[in-house]
Homo-oligomer: A and B are copies of this chain.
């Protein structure tokens, strides 16, 4: 069986997923076969060029038509385009892998999750950091109880691409198109990752204290002699209480001078602790019961998650490998070779509930409950 893939979106995420599809046969020979069938977009010239480069057989400007022709839809468009095509595909039992955050807002996310529940197709939300080998190894340690009862969860995502007030306006800075700013773009990753790592131990979030901040209120439009308002947050902070009483501290900003893509997670439990940084994604710092300090583990051994598919110990992987692992598992689920795929739309919905809680808390200036 060959899975025919339609892909909506062909820029950054399009390249990342197309590359993943292209690399599977050599490194994961047991992955389901795929054909990059149709690339969907609006600008025909750019679309044709991208299809050629990314190895797609055809292009299409009408996403509804595309859905008819494929087994799998990769929905990699801007956030406001996540709901309708995903729901339509699921209604046609076309499998969907949708980029994160699942939706521009909670209501849309709920509709998407409802569509997923009603469909026989697999509905995945592309939180790719779940597929970093070091983080899957981290989860193994948590699950095995090496950290004991988790008390502190800390996550930060620091970038610097908006430090300069003259950095141009883009769709990511508009509330209608993006939903939110650092919160949805970066915070969604962190909140989902925390849940992936410790959710089985600490339960779901019960209450949230959150704040949003915008430092630069308007930005120049590229190629125009004009500015547009920034209607999303440049930074957010949040504290989350989990069912077990564990305490989560989260932050993200696009104003962190000197930090390119610095996504860090820290866990502290009654027996052990962990630290991770995306800029050194092959490493995990681990402290177990009886240890005196953190051990810097290079997670590149043959029995580390997914590593046996690649290179010998010490030959480090990059950011893009997370997409290969994610695609492998998603496609296996789509082909019926495994039961579940995570992050699912349910997982995406849960992340959305947290984003929504942060926004509500900020608006009211008070701690809020997470509604389910």
Closest approach, in angstroms, between the C-beta of A100 and any C-beta of chain B? 16
- Whether A261 sits at the interface, judged by CB under 8 Å, is yes
Q: Is the CB of A152 within 8 A of B253?
A: yes
Contacts of A261 in B (CB 8 A): 312-316
Contacts of A282 in B (CB 8 A): 279
Which of B249, B259, B293 touches A295 (beta carbons < 8 Å)? B293
Q: Is the CB of B316 within 8 A of A279?
A: yes
Closest approach, in angstroms, between the C-beta of A89 and any C-beta of chain B? 25
- Whether A54 sits at the interface, judged by CB under 8 Å, is yes
Number of interface residues of A (CB under 8 A): 82
Q: Is the CB of A294 within 8 A of B292?
A: no
Contacts of A59 in B (CB 8 A): none
Cα distance, A234 to B291, chains bound together (Å) = 22
Interface residues of A in 273-332 (CB under 8 A from B): 273, 278-282, 286-287, 291-298, 300-301, 310-321
Select from chain B the residue with minimum beta-carbon distance to A49.
Answer: B29
- Whether A336 sits at the interface, judged by CB under 8 Å, is no
Closest approach, in angstroms, between the C-beta of A148 and any C-beta of chain B? 8
Closest approach, in angstroms, between the C-beta of A291 and any C-beta of chain B? 6
Cα distance, A215 to B165, chains bound together (Å) = 43
Interface positions of A (Cβ within 8 A of B): 12, 15-16, 18-19, 22-23, 25-27, 29, 53-55, 147, 151-152, 154, 159, 161, 163, 165, 209, 211, 213, 215, 235, 237, 239, 241, 245, 247, 249, 251, 253, 255-262, 268-273, 278-282, 286-287, 291-298, 300-301, 310-321, 364-367
